[in-house]
Amino acid sequence: MRILVGVKRVLDYNVRARVNAEKTAVDLSNVKMSLNPFCEIAVEEAVRLKEAKKADEVVAVTIGPKKANETLRSALAMGADRGVHIMTDLRTDYMQLQPLAVAKLLQKVTEKEKADLVLVGKQGIDSDCGQVGPMLAGMLNCAQATYAAKIEPSGDGGLTVERETDSGTETIELTSFPAVVSCDLRLNEPRYANIKSIMMAKKKKVEVLKAEEMGVDLEPMTEVLEVYEPPPRKEGIKVASVDELVDKLRNEAAVIP
């Protein structure tokens, strides 16, 4: 089984996002970028499946500028076998390249690589869309499982996936491939790349493609009108009694009937 894993270069989760002066986008100049945490979980799962001999090859794919090469290297250092770098200078944080175009690009790579399984993070922590996984499955006209918290071979060639939903866990079996699975937080805890893997990552093959030359319409479907920071949190108030609390909750905050 060949697994294709999508890895996205995003604002590092520790960095406080700041909006630019024009209020058109998050200011990404000189800001630390990292591998999207949910994509990291997807890579970890793919590598584990390979280590358990359930997969033969793990290919990591990223879409982004030259620097996105680092993101690919992180995936390779975790155990992916080779990489595909779709070069583009378009902003990948939803401002220019949006989920529909991303899904179309990944469809091309999935078909080119003849991937049997596509693992993606459930969402990017910059755009928080969560759309690429399901859209890609739709385009491939294949089975999907989103918000995976557990993935296990089902014994008859399929994959049993436990999905996290707001009302509890749903277990489904994927019996046809290719299939797309999006990975959620509780799926696994990604490994630290050991020195050997980091050194070997430098030698692994990365194929470079150009997004503009892949025959995909990259135009955004949605226009972003304004980007602004949420208002600063207002100070709370102290109440003198439970009755006053209930009154405020009911009549001011309107959170109880």
Partner 1 sequence: MIHEMCRKFADEELAPHAGEWDKKHEFPSAAIAHLTELGLMGINVSDEYGGSDLDALAYAIVMEEISRGCASTGVIVSAHNSLYLFPIDKFGTEEQKQKWITPYTTAQTSTGLPLIGCFGLSEPGNGSDAGAASTTAKRDGDSYIINGTKAWITNAHESSAAVIFATTDKSLKHKGISAFIVPFDAEGFSLGAKEDKLGIRASSTANLIFEEVRIPKENLLGEEGQGFKIAMTTLDGGRIGVAGQGIGIASASIDCAVKYALERNAFGKPIAELQTIQNKISAMVMARDSARLLNWRAATLKDEGKGFTREAAMAKLAGSEAATMCAHQAIQVLGGMGYVSDMPAERYYRDARITEIYEGTSEIQHLVIAGNVLKEYKAAV
Which positions touch partner 1 (CB under 8 A)?
73-74, 77, 192-196, 198-199, 201
Pick between residue 74 and residue 131 the one whose CB is nearest to partner 1: 74
> Nearer to partner 1 by C-beta: 72 or 117?
72
Of 126, 131, 135, the C-alpha closest to 95 is: 126
Q: For residues 132 and 193, which CB has a smaller minimum distance to partner 1 in the complex?
A: 193
Q: Which residue, 37 or 158, is less far from partner 1 as judged by CB? A: 37
**What phi and psi, each to the nearest 5 degrees, are found at residue 242?**
-65, -40
In this structure, how many other beta carbons lie within 10 angstroms of the beta carbon of residue 65? 15
CB 3 within 8 A of CB 118: yes
Shortest Cβ distance from residue 37 to partner 1 (Å)? Answer: 12
| Min separation Cβ 199 and partner 1, Å | 8
* Residues paired with 59 in a beta bridge: 4, 82
Side-chain half-sphere CA neighbours of 153 within 13 A? 12
199 vs 249, which CB is nearer to partner 1? 199
Whether residue 187 contacts residue 125, with contact meaning beta carbons closer than 8 Å, is answered with no
Matching residue, tokens 């989920």: 99
d(CA 157, CA 171): 16
Min dist CB 229 to partner 1, Å, is 19
* Alpha carbon separation from 203 to 69, 73, 80, 209, 222 (Å, rounded): 13, 10, 12, 19, 39
